[in-house]
Amino acid sequence: MSTIRNLEPGDWREVREIYAQGIATGNATLETSPPEWEVWDKSHTQELRYVAISDSGEITGWAALTPVSGRCVYAGVAEVSVYVDGRFRGQKVGDMLLKHLIRQSEKKGYWTLQAGIFSENLASMNLHTKNDFRLIGYRENIGKMNGVWRSVNLLERRSQVTGIN
């Protein structure tokens, strides 16, 4: 059983490795390598980033929000990232992290969470739809990966607690 706590700068080595594992699958992101801490830290919402910790103290996964815009009218809208260490996939770590991130984001006033997921990433599609995200669109050929255009499903979750339902 895992516990969840705030992601701290000292976690970056392990978080970065988990991110690199996701990148290596070819179905998690268009990124080709994880950024340095300073870049990642600046782009993710400070108060909404978490790690899952195993009983033995290992970081098993992480979740964070990225604002979709710097404009104040979109202050309650963010993009979700959830990554799980390959050794812990299929053990509900991602579900626990996503549920926690949703609850905490609602407490902070977020009314819309978005996720961009490759169609081939069935585990992530299932995780998000299980947590009330719905498919709202498809971004065809949005970016290239290794010379191949990739398309992304756009999913959205509207809070029933905050904002407009």
Nearest Cα neighbor of 97 from 161, 32, 3 is 3
pLDDT surpasses 90 at 162: no
What tens digit of pLDDT does each residue of 84-134 get?
999 999 999 999 999 999 999 999 999 999 999 999 999 999 999 999 999
Which pLDDT score is estimated for 101? 98
- Pairwise CA distance, residues 93 & 32, whole Å: 24
φ, ψ (nearest 5 deg) of residue 23 = -60, -40
Write out the two tokens for 6.
Answer: 């705030």
Write out the two tokens for 123.
Answer: 């585990």
Write out the two tokens for 137.
Answer: 């669109």
Contacts 24+ apart (CB under 8 A), 145-152: 145/26, 145/30, 145/32, 146/26, 150/30, 150/118, 151/118, 151/119, 152/116, 152/117, 152/118
What tens digit of pLDDT does each residue of 135-147 get?
999 999 989 988 9
pLDDT surpasses 60 at 165: no
pTM of the entire structure?
Answer: 0.93
- Pairwise CA distance, residues 45 & 30, whole Å: 20
Which pLDDT score is estimated for 163? 66
Which pLDDT score is estimated for 73? 67
Percent of the chain at pLDDT > 70 equals 95
Q: Which residue reads 């992101």 in tokens?
A: 29
What tens digit of pLDDT does each residue of 28-60 get?
998 989 999 999 999 999 999 999 999 999 999
List domains and CATH numbers for the chain: 3-158 (3.40.630.30)
The residue length of the chain stands at: 165
- CA angle 17/22/24 to nearest 5° reads 90
Pinpoint the alpha helices (H) of the chain.
Answer: 12-25, 37-43, 93-107, 122-130
- Pairwise CA distance, residues 112 & 162, whole Å: 9
